[in-house]
A and B are shown apart, each in its own frame.
Chain A
């Protein structure tokens, strides 16, 4: 579904990705793990068109999307849920969800999708008129996920969805991401919490200093000596 070949990216004089290749098959939950600064976020940003490619290619559904502008990549069905501040703080929950459907023009379908997300996350329905900035961290994460789904993506990329959340909320977030995969949407997950990511994924890539150094099923990577030492604490 998504094929990245020998992708080179950088910022100014710094090269962040030295020719990485990875593949995400339809219906899979694929994890991209690695330390801080390894290039995980850059990978996602490059796939969604926010960082220009210096070399290599990106194909999505057989279509070359290297160098395509971000709105068109999103319209093709590839959504990106960026890390950091997750919501538009001064907009209501409902407005935040509607913003997720910014590129869609089918208003009635959008309303139906919004109701589906409310039934999935009843907490958001209760707070639909509330400013999103007043929600708890966990609720904001639910909202961010809901908003990403509002574009009806075929593949959704999550960047550090567990960052800054309480452990029980992290657990719930991962359960939701698994459910998204189970409902047929392909997921590419970037996570620092390597064990959780490897435990739930169908396939995983390990990124170190801008290079893919290892790939395999989650179980294979968990069993790998290097991964155990460097990322799983022994």
Chain B
């Protein structure tokens, strides 16, 4: 049942370019898809470990910059007269490095802050994003600062000589993003369902008990942060190679807030939640633009956000799921409410 819905959803999304020819709308779908991947990665942390990363865009932006710099090459001087010269590599290598570097950063941030968790993690992630933004802004020799990195090559797979494919058009990029999103979804679904996933859930439900059965809190949360940051880095890489230009604005706080909104409205802790929330809040500005003045658009955006949270406090997907019978019994509503009161 769940698998059928997922396949139907991917098939429906795959068919979109067949009947939607408008390049503007296709562009909106691609950027939304990239942010949906970011939201899925945020959901892995927020929804399955309860830890809020308010600097999640940092991992996304690191992925974007690493991928762009790897495929553009750079030549920088370091203190002491050293020079590092990097010749351009294929974009796919940039993608791989983006995932690795972002994941490493996620692991380190987690390792540093998960000894104390909660509010501390929120603050550390905000600070981390701000520091990374300042580095991107001021290390002009490497990042071009506010002048932006330009002429980033499009994503490309294959090997020189053995046949290559370059994702040049919007149509190519649409399927690239859809494919990556589906893979990330599968990866997160598998992870959440594994022994490691149960450890994450156990930690969120009752930390004292989780520790008593031998779960290593810092290690578990750091690994979750690592995977989450790695996926965000993958999204950032796609973003860089699609937009072909990135500047330090990519680290703007509002981008993290957008991802949080996508996760919360869609339903944190549900796999499909960030996809549904992401599609709604990613495409809403596009849908509102032709019918409203710019000021009214943001008022409507806020109004719809409040309405969704008021009517479906646990998110759209959990609210809908309640109307369908589920094979595995979850806690009844009365119990969930009691739990919410307890934690309040």
Contacts and interface: CB of A to CB of B under 8 A. Distances in A.
B206 A85 contact: yes
Interface residues of A, number: 34
Contacts of A151: 213-214
Contacts of B215: 71, 102
Nearest to B216: A71
A88 B329 contact: no
Interface in B296-344: 328-332, 335, 339
A102 B208 contact: no
Contact of B214 (A75, A95, A130): A75
A121 B339 CA distance: 26
Given A71-B215, A82-B208, A102-B214, A90 B201 contact: yes
Contacts of A133: 331, 335, 339
B134 interface: no
B15 interface: no
A85 B209 contact: yes
A91 interface: yes
Contacts of B213: 74, 99-100, 102-103, 147, 151
B195 A102 contact: yes
Interface string A80-98: 1110111111111001001
A90 B205 contact: yes
A70 B211 CA distance: 7
Contact of A134 (B201, B209, B212, B335): B335
A202 to B, nearest CB: 24
A55 interface: no
A87 B339 contact: no
A129 interface: yes
B190 interface: no
Interface of A: 48, 50, 69-71, 74-75, 79-82, 84-92, 95, 98-100, 102-103, 129-131, 133-134, 147-148, 151
6 contacts: A88-B205, A90-B201, A100-B213, A102-B215, A131-B329, A151-B214
